[in-house]
Amino acid sequence: MSFIPQGANLINGNWVRSLDSFASQPVSGAPQSFSVATEEQVHQACVAAEAAFASFSQTSRQQRAELLNAIADEIEARGDAITEIGTSETGLPAARLQGERGRTTGQLRLFAQHILNGDYLDRRHDGALPDRQPLPRPDLKMVQRPVGPVAVFGASNFPLAFSTAGGDTASALAAGCPVVVKGHEAHPGTCEIVADAIRAAIEATKMPAGVFSLVQGNARHVGQTLVEHPCIKAVGFTGSLRGGRALFDLCAQRPEPIPFFAEMGSINPVFMLPGALAQRAQAIGQGWAGSLTMGVGQFCTNPGIAIVLSGSDADAFVKASQEALAGVTAQTMLTDGIANAYRQGCQRMRGVSGVTALLTSEGLERSGSPYLLETTAANWLANPELGHEVFGPLGMVVRAESPEEMLQIAEALEGQLTCTLQLEDSDIPAAQDLLPTLERKAGRLLVNGFPTGVEVCDSMVHGGPYPASTNFGATSVGTMAIRRFVRPVCYQNFPDALLPADLSTN
């Protein structure tokens, strides 16, 4: 059955409209009208979340696990309708959305199991030492507790896994924090149908309605009001550096500053070491091109630059990359704005002195095609703008003249989500020289792979030093993401009857 959006905001369990509206911009099908949440409606959602926190924060891990699994069930029950409206709004292939839906429900179930295991609680107990000299020690217990209502901003490039019921929402609910989601205007209908799945799961598990709300709108006041609301105690964001920095500043300027956990992308450099290119130049070039163009380059882990040592092996790599990229046809991008920004970014990079265009394209309207540029390490180092992300399938080859220049590039990098080493055994000494620097630059380091494709598991880190993210100690993917929405509380000389259940039962 097809899903027909109401075009309303979900606030405290009720679908609510406003006088102001915006129209979706689907790739196919007729545009739909969606209400822009008013400041009062955002206020109501935040107040409802605060009211729900009183009881939701006291629920058992078993109860929250049941909620997360129920949300996954409700999403799966709407699977075909989600795919239909998602492909219409975003232009993403049905298979991609089906896979992303599986990742979304998998994340929810993973967090359900994670909180049942209880490791994230980091429970500690230092028993009383009444006879210790010169001073006795009190009984001390510590456990992680939820921080309060969380605001989540949906991402443009992952309408399911990083959006309404994505990793930020899943980890916050798992922690015991109500969530208010600001839906992304690129796919408001997809946001609405997933919100309806969450609403149904909340009703089925008898949780407070204010545990989840969805506010929509393409107006600045929606996000600003949400971030500045005193009931909100943390924010999760996936998006551009410009948008993330603006929200980060709002969080810091509040009377009560709150943590802002943003993932804002990076250029994800790949260091092609000489032994690897001598053995596998063609395969590496083809693999890089495939990763670069996956999803029309609209991944935050897109490997935007390849660093090589000049020579015949580098020439072979560039030729293989160029041939592979030339065979990629234009594809639909997520929005007109993203497509326009990509074309402008390609022209801006191409216009920098010392940059050579090896492959260009003329994408039309909402489509994007690969670009391949080349420059020297010296020129890259002299032009910091070449280290900025262009969201889309733009690749840049940076030719270094020596291992020392490769290291200089590593040292000049801003914070990254990933850094990759393509190597053979003969490259181990060179990799050892690079590694101490790369460890400081990125949250995830790869060998002989490509960074597109982020596994959802216990050990994943999807974050990094600024500007890749605003908090290098956090991740937005994997079970460690729950740490963003809990804080340690110590209980001194507490009787068991007053302790949180997660302490009193252990």
What pLDDT, in 10s, does the model give residues 279-336? 999 999 999 999 999 999 999 999 999 999 999 999 999 999 999 999 999 999 999 9
**Cα 114 to chain center, whole Å?**
20
Percent of the chain with pLDDT over 90: 97
CA nearest neighbour of 305 among 343, 271, 352: 271
For residue 71, the 8-state DSSP code is H
User: Residue 348: in which H helix or E strand, if any?
Assistant: helix 336-350
pLDDT in tens, 455-476: 999 999 999 999 999 998 999 9
Determine how many CB atoms are found less than 10 A away from the CB of residue 404. 10
Buried b (16+ CB within 10 A) or exposed e, 353-365: eebeebbebebee
pLDDT in tens, 56-98: 999 999 999 999 999 999 999 999 999 999 999 999 999 999 9
Determine how many CB atoms are found less than 10 A away from the CB of residue 473. 12
Cβ atoms of 266 and 418 within 8 Å: the answer is yes
DSSP E strand boundaries for 333-463: 356-359, 367-368, 371-376, 394-400, 416-422, 442-447
pLDDT at position 361, please? 83
User: Cis ω on the peptide bond leading into residue 134 (within 30° of 0)?
Assistant: yes
User: Residue 404: in which H helix or E strand, if any?
Assistant: helix 403-412
Q: Dihedral through CA 193, CA 199, CA 200, CA 204, nearest 10?
A: 160
pLDDT in tens, 114-127: 999 999 999 999 99
pLDDT at position 504, please? 76
The CA-to-CA distance between both ends of the chain, in Å, stands at 48
pLDDT at position 462, please? 97
CA distance 38 to 468: 31
Catalytic residue among 50, 74, 89, 263: 263
Strands 140-146 and 124-126: antiparallel
Percent of the chain with pLDDT over 70: 99
Prediction pTM value: 0.96
pLDDT in tens, 328-361: 999 999 999 999 999 999 999 999 999 999 999 8
Cβ atoms of 420 and 275 within 8 Å: the answer is no
Single-letter amino acid code for the residue at 405:
E
**Residue 505 pLDDT greater than 60, yes or no:** no
Single-letter amino acid code for the residue at 267:
I
Single-letter amino acid code for the residue at 120:
Y
For residue 187, the 8-state DSSP code is S
HSE-up (13 A, CA, CB side) for residue 402: 4
Residue 300 is a catalytic residue: yes
pLDDT at position 1, please? 56
pLDDT in tens, 410-432: 999 999 999 999 999 999 999 99
Catalytic residue among 300, 346, 389, 419: 300
CA–CA distance from 458 to each of 119, 186, 270, 478 (Å)?
A: 11, 30, 25, 5
Sign of CA dihedral 184, 190, 195, 196: positive
For residue 357, the 8-state DSSP code is E
Buried b (16+ CB within 10 A) or exposed e, 66-78: bbbbbbbbbbeeb
Single-letter amino acid code for the residue at 309:
L
- Which pair of tokens denotes residue 172? 């916050």
pLDDT at position 506, please? 45
Residues with Cβ within 8 Å of 297's Cβ and at least 6 positions away in sequence, in order, are 342, 368, 370, 391, 392, 393, 394
pLDDT in tens, 144-188: 999 999 999 999 999 999 999 999 999 999 999 999 999 999 999
Mean pLDDT of 232-244: 96
Q: Dihedral through CA 89, CA 95, CA 101, CA 104, nearest 10?
A: -110
